[in-house]
Amino acid sequence: MTTGMPEDADDLAERKMRFLFALRSKGVTDARVLTAMERVDRGHFIKGLFADRTYEDMPLPIACGQTISQPSVVGLMTQALNVQPRDTVLEVGTGSGYQAAILAQLARRVYTVDRHRRLVREASEVFRALNLTNITVFAADGSFGLPDQGPFDRILVTAAAEDPPGPLLAQMKIGGIMVVPVGQSDAVQSLIKVTRLEKGYDYEELRPVRFVPLIEGLGAD
């Protein structure tokens, strides 16, 4: 029988503990990343039908045909990015805002951009509610980055491109790192870590992934 009572605090704590255990079991071992993911409650970024699946390690649908990524993938991407406390980070693909909120725990400043104005509005509201004052959100075509704010120490792309976008490569500082899913279809993608060297770039393939495609232009919403 459903009582309509709120979820028991002990049960919620148990679900959060299992959530963190799942992250570790999937290879998220960096203590700073785990602490950031413990601080940022994924429940703030999931509304409606899927709210009861907040602490499961799975991607979930959000507005505008987008998804909130699987938490272990968020953790692994953040870990690969190796964000330092004084870093300025660009995120391409704000989505729900969950990834940016985690980056904000680790970096000095986070700029995040999304082509869907509705997602930008909704994420901005959550950031304000959580008092995340070091995040700036833009509605723009993220494939071109944010040249006026760059160059960046770190760039994280949460949508798949055929190749690491040239404008984003150009906005990396020397020694900077970009983590980006690369692949021509949603079935065959690899997570790539790009490090900018004094001359050229170093590319490291990390793992297979599956992301929505990186699309140029602004969304209709």
Residues labelled catalytic: 69
Give 13's Cβ-side CA count (13 Å radius): 3
**Alpha-carbon torsion (61, 65, 70, 75), positive or negative:** negative
Residue found by looking up tokens 């994280």 in the block: 156
Element (H, E) at 133: none
Is residue 83 within 8 A of residue 177, CB to CB? The reply is: no
**Alpha-carbon torsion (134, 139, 140, 141), positive or negative:** positive
What distance in Å separates the CA atoms of residue 35 and residue 105, rounded to the nearest whole number?
Answer: 9
Q: For residue 112, what are the β-bridge partners?
A: 91, 137
